[in-house]
Structure 1
Amino acid sequence: MSFDYKKEYKSFYMPPVRPVIVQVPKMNFIAIRGKGNPNDEEGEYKTAVGLLYAASYTLKMSYKGEHQIKGYFEYVVPPLEGFWWQDGIAGVDYSNKDTFNWISVIRVPDFIAETDFQWAVEEATRKKKLDFSNMEFWSHEEGLCVQCMHIGSFDNEPETVRAMEEFASLKGYVIDLSDTRLHHEIYLSDPRKVDVSKLKTVIRHPIKEA
């Protein structure tokens, strides 16, 4: 049976619908940085998501080809994630999506080395005839965070974020968003297949002691 990060690390991918505190360790991702409204059908974000999945599945299926990755085991490609911010704004202004900066990512197993990532980019470029030059191998450690499962439309996230902020305050923490500690979302549902009222999104914010 393939290793499934969502099932094996439920504390990171399947939190309850009430806020909880979590310590998030260093993880490795393939990532693309960009700007603009994620809902723009012709925008950078939609293109980035397609490229991330193409490279992720190239790595996942590598065992069937000549490139053998040391320590490889079969796994389920982890969910799409996004780190979001806007210049000059503390938090997120959901009413002005055109000003978003983002890092769109998909986690890779620890046995994936940067040389394996580089191979996957070259292989995907050759097969897909697409430009992967803006993709990077990115390591990130979030540290102490508050998180919650948000159910429903992305536009209703502010209510969940407020609950997270209130919970953090009760526990003696404050939200610690900065240039390096960002609003983080993990997408557990496919908006093309799931009704908007049932979308599941993990929302995670960094915190520090008050």
Structure 2
Amino acid sequence: MMTKYEWRKAEKGLYLPKQLGVVDVPTSNYLTLEGAGNPNDALFSDQIQSLYPVAYALRMGYKKGLYGNPFEYTVYPLEGVWTTADGSRGAQLNKDALVYKIMIRQPDQVTAEQVTDAIAATREKKDVPFLDQIRFETYTEGPSLQMIHVGPFDTEGETFAKMQAYLAEHGLTKTTTMGDYQHREVYLSDFRRVASEKRKTLLRYRLAPSAN
């Protein structure tokens, strides 16, 4: 019987930390889409609905053995890296100025050719926007500070404040991720279905290399 790989069980330290702390995030491959603007607008939702069908097409291909030996796994959670075009932050955040890249991690064995096939298969079955803009990228995050935030997105500042205090206390410095992005969010809860007060979001800062 084929054993199903479940990231929630196999990678608890990476995605489900019990407390604020540093973790070394490995090099991984992602399906990605870039965007800008308020995530409450339709564009953001449409982009999410473009990524997931491709991720599930890849999962089904592996489950059926289309890419070699059958392999069953749970699709990884949606992630996003964020910044703003106008430099606004915190209470002064201008959501219309947000710039982001959303993504879904893929198992290590997924190839660019398989992603191309999955996009083509998705296009044949569904009328999905943004398929032509999906990219397959490899990204190394490395040492990172992370903590799970429970609650609405608008209260994430409370958790970021704890992360900033940890940086200061331990002499650490955060750096930008994937260019000029300020932080990463991993959406452990489906924010379309889970009440905002119960929503779990993993927040992550990439750390600058140590001076030692």
Is the CA contact (8 Å cut-off) linking 1:59 and 1:117 kept in structure 2?
A: yes
The residue aligned with 1:183 is 183
Is the CA contact (8 Å cut-off) linking 1:30 and 1:108 kept in structure 2?
A: yes
How big is the shift at 1:193? 2.4
- Write out per-residue CA displacement over residues 140-188 of structure 1, whole angstroms, 9 at most, x where no aligned residue: 1111110001000110111101111111221220121263564100001
2:192 is the alignment partner of 1:192: yes
1:21 aligned partner, one-letter code = V
1:5 aligned partner, one-letter code = W
The residue aligned with 1:29 is 30
2:97 is the alignment partner of 1:95: no
Counting only pairs closer than 5 Å after superposition, residues 1-16 of structure 1 correspond to structure 2 as: 1-16=3-18
Q: Percent identity?
A: 32
Secondary structure in 2 aligned to 1:185? strand
Matches of 2:70 and 2:76 in 1, distance apart? 15
Is the CA contact (8 Å cut-off) linking 2:61 and 2:67 kept in structure 1?
A: yes
CA RMSD of aligned residues (A): 2.0
Counting only pairs closer than 5 Å after superposition, residues 116-127 of structure 1 correspond to structure 2 as: 116-127=114-125
Matches of 2:140 and 2:16 in 1, distance apart? 19
The residue aligned with 2:126 is 128
Structure 1 alignment gaps of length 5 or more: none
Q: Alpha carbons of 1:71 and 1:113: their partners in 2 closer, same or farther (altered >3 Å)? A: farther
Please report the TM-score for the alignment, with normalisation by the length of structure 1: 0.90
The residue aligned with 1:75 is 73
Secondary structure in 1 aligned to 2:186? strand
The residue aligned with 2:45 is 46
Structure 2 alignment gaps of length 5 or more: none
Aligned pair partner of 1:111 in 109, 112, 126? 109
Counting only pairs closer than 5 Å after superposition, residues 58-73 of structure 1 correspond to structure 2 as: 58-63=57-62, 68-70=66-68, 72-73=70-71
The residue aligned with 2:201 is 201
How big is the shift at 1:133? 0.2
Secondary structure in 1 aligned to 2:82? strand
Please report the TM-score for the alignment, with normalisation by the length of structure 2: 0.89
- Write out per-residue CA displacement over residues 180-206 of structure 1, whole angstroms, 9 at most, x where no aligned residue: 564100001122322211100000011
Matches of 1:3 and 1:64 in 2, distance apart? 11
